[in-house]
Structure 1
Amino acid sequence: MKITKLKGLAASASALALFAGCAIKQVEEVTVYKTKGAVQCESSGMSIFESEIQLQNSGIEVHSSKCGVLEGVGFAQMCGGKTGDILVHTINARYENLAEAMGYKPVSTLVSADAPQGFNAVECQ
């Protein structure tokens, strides 16, 4: 009886060792952004919720979202003028091309010597 239990334990240990050797591949993510389309004195533009829904309705899984303001870029303060407000989403990297076709761009394209992060996170309004 003890020998049978030991054989069973040995088989279980072998199976566990086999599974432990198989690393679970992490989902690769990419962070993309899109301008809110806000116009000073006229419109606050798209909300973070509307942007998430737009991505999800296209089959893109959104892992996280936040609002931001472009870093190192100035905008004249005048009614009718653009703003640096952006919507930022972290998505599965396999959907990057689809997101780009929808007007989203990788945050990495914002990074420069003058803007080491590309944008500053702000509270969504």
Structure 2
Amino acid sequence: MRRLIGVLLLGLLSTACSSESKTVQQVQVYINDGAKQCIGGGLTIKQTAEKLSKDGVEVITSSCGTINGMMVIAQCGAPELSVNIHTISHSDLNKAVKLGFKPLADLKDGVTTTDCPVQKPVKGSEASF
């Protein structure tokens, strides 16, 4: 009986040591969606996620937001502060930066999460990368 308990304990200990949890460090990146005041337009969350995916960056989650603590001129046609935010693996950060995305942590005042609008390209000028 002792031998059986010893074998079971040894098996349990070796299993505990070999089952390391592999946690993937994640980082949030953002890109301005290109929408213009009074006009709208810009890139949808799906379009920017697809851009990352096409270049080998796995998108874990996505959301939309507005940059905090920054002012823009209030004029039709001027840029908005709306951004598309994607959570990716930290190991893909350099790829995302090369595609024009920036780490969300770089924004001093962060963002306010918003609903993702259903955006349609402005007539005569499709938004794209």
TM-score by length of 1: 0.83
- The aligned counterpart of 1:85 is 82
CA distance in 2, matches of 1:24, 1:16: 16
Report the CA distance between 1:43 and its aligned residue.
Answer: 3.6
The answer to whether the aligner puts 1:53 opposite 2:50 as a matched pair is: yes
The answer to whether the aligner puts 1:18 opposite 2:14 as a matched pair is: yes
Secondary structure in 2 aligned to 1:44? Answer: coil
The answer to whether the aligner puts 1:122 opposite 2:114 as a matched pair is: yes
CA distance in 1, matches of 2:44, 2:67: 16
CA distance in 1, matches of 2:9, 2:53: 42
Secondary structure in 2 aligned to 1:21? Answer: helix
Q: How does 1:83-122 map to 2 (within 5 A)?
A: 83-111=80-108, 115=109, 118-122=110-114
Secondary structure in 1 aligned to 2:37? Answer: coil
The answer to whether the aligner puts 1:41 opposite 2:38 as a matched pair is: yes
CA distance in 2, matches of 1:93, 1:49: 20
Count of aligned residue pairs for this structure pair: 116
Q: Which amino acid aligns with 1:54?
A: K
CA distance in 1, matches of 2:8, 2:24: 29
- The aligned counterpart of 2:122 is none
Structure 1 runs (4+) deviating above 6 angstroms are none
Question: What is the percentage of aligned positions where both structures have the same residue?
Answer: 29
Report the CA distance between 1:106 and its aligned residue.
Answer: 0.4
CA distance in 1, matches of 2:92, 2:8: 39
CA distance in 2, matches of 1:100, 1:119: 18
Q: Which amino acid aligns with 2:96?
A: A
